[in-house]
Amino acid sequence: MSLGSVPLKYKISIDREQCMKCMRCVDNCSYGVYRVEDDKILIDSRKCTACHRCMSMCPRDAIMLQEKPVDYRSHPLWTAEAREDVINQARTGKIILAGMGNAIDYPIIFDRLVLDACQVTNPSIDPLREPMELRTYLGKKPAKLEFTKNNGDVELSTKLAPNLKLDTPIMIGHMSYGAISLNAQLSLAKAVAKTGTFMGTGEGGMHDAIYPYQDHMIVQIASGRFGVDINYLERGAAIEIKVGQGAKPGIGGHLPGEKVCSDVSCTRMIPLGSDAISPAPHHDIYSIEDLAQLVRSLKEATNWEKPVFVKIAAVHNVAAIAAGIARSSADAVVIDGFRGGTGAAPKVFRDNVGIPIEAAIAAVDQKLNDQGIRNEISLIASGGIRNSADLAKSIALGADAIYIGTASLIALGCRVCGNCYRGLCPWGIATQRSELVERIDPQVGSQNVANLINAWTLELSELMGAAGLNSIESLRGNRERLRGYMLDEGLLNVLKVESVGA
């Protein structure tokens, strides 16, 4: 028996009076919503992903989009999505693949935290007039300063381990070449170079077009070891071992063969068109001491000149895992919350596995603090950071710096339609089709991304100034400057934050 079709997700209509038939929509839609017949633009709404490319290019604002134009009988449990997933799987018997971050309406803790400002008892600081220090060093810090004194001359014995110096605590997370296009990666790379910060290569090796920006690149080594050789390791400003990812904790990743074009195959060092499979674990890491071995192996291979970060997904036991990582010679631990984006993840993982980044930062920071080693290792947070307020709250909860991913892609045009895995991204981001990739001009793209980083940096300075802080060290872990609004007691305890009014 046929299940028939499910209702349209989106309905596209064109205001024919406004339309001047310039055909930009037809040219821009890579999903095939529009076609021309007898001088008329025909619409196939079923193909629409709500990527907004057509609308953004329409000179007359003639295109309208309606989400879920057909009603189901309303039901609080059997939502339209629940029903459609069942129908999909009844039809195919397969795992549902989805893009971008967690799409379930969980409460957002960031939005239940409020920041502090000075009134009377201490003055706010105007960052335009007074010094404001956002410089952040990522890497191992000594527990204690060692020095000797010879007739009043102080001789430093402590030798600092290599640290990354950031002008602003905002970095761009790991999105591989392959998952995103070269022009997208180039735009991001130029932007971090401009703003004095860093970005991740993702697990895809480093394309030679990125070499000029290698001093701003954190090279990733993941379970697939794609594109990893000694040259790659030496190029990076730092090395990051990816153990897990917030969007899909506990499973590996597959770059589908159709995305492995010749350039991607060369950068990843794998044959053209073959699936690039990253196994779930690193098969040389089955335990914490194996992680320490890989960290030290990477350091040994690069002469102890590169900081090594370890990225894990925020899972229930994240604090204890991070404490283990802190003992491994690693310089920073990266935690990726369950709202982290991705090009493709099984929907059941994306929406149901892991914990929110806010709780993870608090738990990790607290555990490291309890063990007296918090300042010796850096903590980088990612996964669903949307604006400078989320950034400030992350740092106040205990992060040293953050990675942004989705936000940086939105700055390149992404409208979070979530179809990245299809390789047809009309914005030229999550695709390898040259005609689409060319839609990004890295000059323009990098300026947009740099603008975003600069704007958040400015806002962070203002927030800190208002709180009477002129140095980022004094915001880090300063939970006195946060209050919880309508958070339950259990969560307040985890966050070690008082309620508003307290």
Which residue, 282 or 311, is less far from another protein as judged by CB? 282
Binding residues for [4Fe-4S] cluster: 19, 22, 25, 29, 48, 51, 54, 58
**Closest approach of Cβ 272 to another protein, in Å?**
10
Which residue, 233 or 315, is less far from another protein as judged by CB? 233
How many Cα atoms within 13 Å fall on the side-chain side of residue 101? Answer: 25
- Report the SS3 class of residue 165: strand
Q: From 244, 188, 255, select the one nearest 429 (Cα to Cα).
A: 188
Which residue, 69 or 256, is less far from another protein as judged by CB? 256
Which residue, 19 or 233, is less far from another protein as judged by CB? 233
Burial of 39 (0-12, 13-18, 19+ CB in 10 A): exposed
How many Cα atoms within 13 Å fall on the side-chain side of residue 332? Answer: 29
Q: From 475, 466, 476, select the one nearest 117 (Cα to Cα).
A: 466
Which residue, 95 or 128, is less far from another protein as judged by CB? 95
**Closest approach of Cβ 14 to another protein, in Å?**
26
Which residue, 21 or 44, is less far from another protein as judged by CB? 44
Binding residues: 19, 22, 25, 29, 48, 51, 54, 58
Bridge pairing between strands 147-150 and 153-156: antiparallel
The Cα–Cα gap between 463 and 115 comes to: 8
**Closest approach of Cβ 207 to another protein, in Å?**
15
**Closest approach of Cβ 109 to another protein, in Å?**
18
- Report the SS3 class of residue 153: strand
Q: From 396, 426, 394, select the one nearest 413 (Cα to Cα).
A: 426
Which residue, 334 or 472, is less far from another protein as judged by CB? 472
Which residue, 297 or 443, is less far from another protein as judged by CB? 297
**Closest approach of Cβ 421 to another protein, in Å?**
7
**Closest approach of Cβ 130 to another protein, in Å?**
6
The Cα–Cα gap between 464 and 478 comes to: 11
Q: What are phi and psi of 96, to 5 degrees?
A: -80, 125
Query: What is the 3 state secondary structure string of 250-317?
Result: CCCEEECHHHCCHHHHHHHCCCCCCCEEECCCCCCCCCHHHHHHHHHHHHHHCCCCCCEEEEEECCCC
The Cα–Cα gap between 455 and 471 comes to: 18
**Closest approach of Cβ 442 to another protein, in Å?**
27
Strand extents, DSSP E, 280-431: 308-313, 332-336, 345-346, 378-382, 401-404
**Closest approach of Cβ 447 to another protein, in Å?**
26
Which residue, 26 or 290, is less far from another protein as judged by CB? 290
The Cα–Cα gap between 286 and 289 comes to: 8
The dihedral sign for the CA sequence 491, 492, 493, 496: positive
**Closest approach of Cβ 257 to another protein, in Å?**
5
Contact between 161 and 137 under an 8 Å Cβ cutoff? The reply is: no
